[in-house]
Amino acid sequence: MTAESLLLLSYGLVSENLPLLTEKEKKPAAPAPDARLPPQSCLLLPPTPVRGGPKAVMSKKTNMHIFIESGLRLLHLSLKTSKIKSSSEHVLEMLDPFVSLLINCLGARDVKVITGALQCLIWVSRFPLPSVETKAGQLTKHLFLLLKNYARLGAAQGQNFHLVVNCFKCVTIVVKKVKSYQITEKQLQVLLAYAEEDIYDTTRQATAFGLLKAILSRKLLVPEIDDIMRKVSKLAISAQNEPARVQCRQVRTEN
């Protein structure tokens, strides 16, 4: 499939606008009762109840999240395998509307949908798209809301863990790549608080170090960063594994 075909299919699946999924067969309207006929007798017995009771009414959106997840996976895989490239102006024009669509997906109730949208945003935010610049503030608000809801102590487990990791990766890309937008001092303090905890967590160290590098590369400084850098310096010596020590040294060179 061409990049254009992949984008059209992904957009249709994610936006719930793909005709094959959203078109509903139209049923003919029931004819109006003939006014000349006598009314139905109230003495007639109702129909015999079916075994197990009446079937529950299924909403057409009940399984829609499955199609949305499929669209997000298709988009993510296409971006990851470089089937969608920034060298084509036409492809960039088609990719730009995805920014708003993916941000809207962050408000979904399904964890897999949110995680899939974050994985796509991590890649999409690297492209020179107008919406990445104009929607950076809106995206950042959604990301911090997700961190508040899912990164609290004891919540980042199972599927939530992957959501939180991808959320931090997305924040890192916004901080590092979107030069026209700068997070607030309060938001920076919140990020540093998370990073301070995660540098000691082997499952999230890489994400924390990446975030610290992005913050330092943009020269975003607050008083709290000095304390974190002292801890990073100590960890560069005391960390049990070599990759963590290397990451610590790389962070120090950014300072």
User: What pLDDT is attached to residue 10?
Assistant: 92
Last residue of a domain, one of 154, 181, 208: 181
**pLDDT given at position 92:** 92
Tokens 């993510």, residue located: 76
Q: Which residues of the chain have pLDDT under 70?
A: 17-30, 40-45, 50-62, 152-157, 255
pLDDT of 79? 93
Looking at the fold, whether 139 and 83 belong to one and the same domain comes out as yes
Pair 111, 196 in one domain: no
For the chain, the domain total comes to: 2
Q: CB-hemisphere CA count at 13 Å for 69?
A: 10
Interior/surface letters 203-240, b for 16+ CB within 10 angstroms, e for the rest: ebbbbbbbbbbbbbebebeeebbeebbeebeebbeebe
Q: Is residue 37 a contact partner of residue 125, using CB atoms and an 8 Å limit?
A: no
Same domain, 176 and 68: yes
pLDDT number for residue 186: 92
Give the distance from CA 247 to its chain's centroid.
26
Find the CATH number of the domain harbouring 85: 1.25.40
Same domain assignment for residues 14 and 119: yes
Residue 117: CB atoms within 10 A of its CB come to: 30
Asked whether residue 93 falls in the same domain as residue 163, the answer is yes
Residue 135 lies in a domain: yes
Same domain as 234, residue 193: yes
Q: Say how far apart CA 15 and CA 70 lie, in whole Å.
A: 12
- Which one of 181, 206, 233 terminates a domain? 181
Q: Where are the alpha helices (DSSP H) in the chain?
A: 3-15, 19-22, 64-80, 89-95, 98-105, 111-124, 130-134, 136-150, 159-177, 185-198, 205-217, 224-238, 242-254
Q: Which residue has the tokens 């939530």?
A: 160
pLDDT for position 56:
56
Residue 7 structural domain: 1-21+63-181
Domain boundary among 128, 155, 181: 181
Q: Is 49 domain-assigned?
A: no
